[in-house]
Structure 1
């Protein structure tokens, strides 16, 4: 049972592990290595089952003999600083249908066509940008090009070892752990570019946040079963709760995502896979469900909290240039979604309620 992280140490970043709940220990020292480990990817790339070796070192009490720092005194970075790849899936029907309101023609709110037969049959995904990764308490720049900045609350999976054509039944042995994944989205750019039948591209390109750490699967007990995590997920903006859902109703399992990702391809240590956005996991969905949500703007503090993982917090800061200086912008601004009726909201809430809590 481990929480793996990356933290600042002087001018460098180091891979750490939480011990006794509140203390960070340097993994390089725990494993007796000569070359410092920069982040969790460096750890996973070691030979001879590095997670088992680290677990054994902690179990034998080495963590108590190493120098420790209180987590409150540590500045965290993304647990994987530059993943080899970032694949983002779409596993939640409430999100993909926008509260089950997608019309018979497959469209909703101008967001284009979705073939539900394809979505149910395939774990679909796109590649996001591994060069723009933020960690806990790091600022995220509001892109100059967008007027419609949004969050997307997801669970991230970090790959433990290399594999090709991994089967769903074998996928658990490829999972190092789970983290919180904020797929920052820029809706005007997304809608505009996807009219060209490719994407999302710039609508997702400017930032992804992961953190605060990676939690190994054995920490979740019965909450992780048959490839699905059942966890409460909340999003607060400036302290106000906009999103509150449970992740129990994933249509595609994490194992299915790994199988599709590795089909005729490879996954490698440090790859990050997003589950897709949970229901109610965006500003648009929160507004549709009656929350006082709006597009994000500079100064907003977005906190994502997922049960059993922790809190991932980022502040949105001012663009680095004026929008007038940007060549490729959307020629429109999207309105925020209108609230559904009280009866419609109650029907959606009843449909997505975790039966284990009823």
Structure 2
């Protein structure tokens, strides 16, 4: 499934599932499956936390199956509002035309944001910012810093340029935790993943260099914005790209103003998401809605220009794209 947070006529954020050119409003269609469900709107975090009782990703899949059955059991990729017309329960539409909705960040406010650096290539580029090499302890276990989980932007949102002369994108993928766990073993960690999404970890490279030289973790350099979306893809959406060891043969592309600047592949990560989850959950409880980013994959302008720029400027359009994960597009504004 491709789970989204969207706005329609009443502008209230709602959670749905994209199938073809249609969004199924989960809360509106819930009476097909659940007795006396909470009224809409719901959030994606509600779904992950099991509201209503027994919801979760499996409950969302049941609702989707019930809607498809309601309209005659057609193939899900052929689902289209134009074909079936408006379907309502209690006056609330269950099927929303995708081109009439506005997609927001799938998780507008994740429970937390952990930013790993799981790519040796990107870690080496960061090390060059302060004239050093990749520290030996990076090879011993996955390392992360906390990100600003409040400054989350969705697809097609404008990104205000922070106070920097070296603004950069980072081409990343993140996973979202679907159930609580502590001290999770790597062999079991994939069972805690609700889904994956594209993530742009916007970074002020000049500020980041100062933080590195001072011996601090990344903070103000990544404080202004993080973009995610357009949807949260459940793990089955990436089955065709899955490799042994929890990696994916999935190509990621970044473009600036229509020109490709970076290309990478998730198979090149040193650490798989299962290893990141295990590290994050050591002596700590992970909760539904926690977001775990893998770090730059195949690049940013830091790698593409060897740290010299040119950097992102006002009115630039930055696009991240990957099969199964969609297209995440943002324009920079002064």
TM-score range, shorter chain: 0.7 to 0.9
Could you tell me how far 1:194 is from its partner in structure 2?
Answer: 2.8
Aligned equivalent of 1:343: none
**Structure 2: distance between partners of 1:62 and 1:130:** 38
State whether residues 129 and 209 of structure 2, in contact with CA within 8 Å, keep that contact through their aligned partners in structure 1.
no
SS of equivalent to 1:168 = coil
Q: Which residue of 2 aligns with 1:234?
A: 253
> Counterpart of 2:57?
51
Structure 1 stretch displaced more, 49-58 or 122-131:
49-58
> How far, CA to CA, are the matches of 2:154 and 2:69 in structure 1?
28
Gaps of 5+ in 2: 32-36, 72-86, 89-93
Residue in 1 that maps onto 2:38 = 34
Per the alignment, do residues 192 and 288 of structure 1 end up closer, same or farther by CA in structure 2, a change over 3 Å counting? closer
1:72 aligns with 2:76: no
Is structure 2 residue 319 aligned with structure 1 residue 306? no
Alignment of 1:192-207 (within 5 A): 192-207=210-225
CA distance in 2, matches of 1:130, 1:35: 27
Count of equivalent residues: 304
SS, match of residue 57 in structure 1:
helix
Name the TM-score, length of structure 1 as normaliser. 0.80
Q: Report deviation, 1:222.
A: 3.5
The DSSP-based 3-state class of the residue aligned with 1:269 is: coil
The structural deviation recorded for 1:113 is 5.2
- Deviation, 1:287, is 2.2
Cα distance in structure 1, aligned partners of 2:203 and 2:6: 26
Displacement of 1:38: 3.8
* Distance across 2 between alignment mates of 1:86 and 1:34: 28
2:186 alignment partner, one of 157, 162, 168: 168
Task: Give me the CA root mean square deviation.
Answer: 1.9
Task: Indicate the larger mover: 192-201 or 256-265.
Answer: 192-201
Distance of 1:282 and 1:111 partners within structure 2: 18
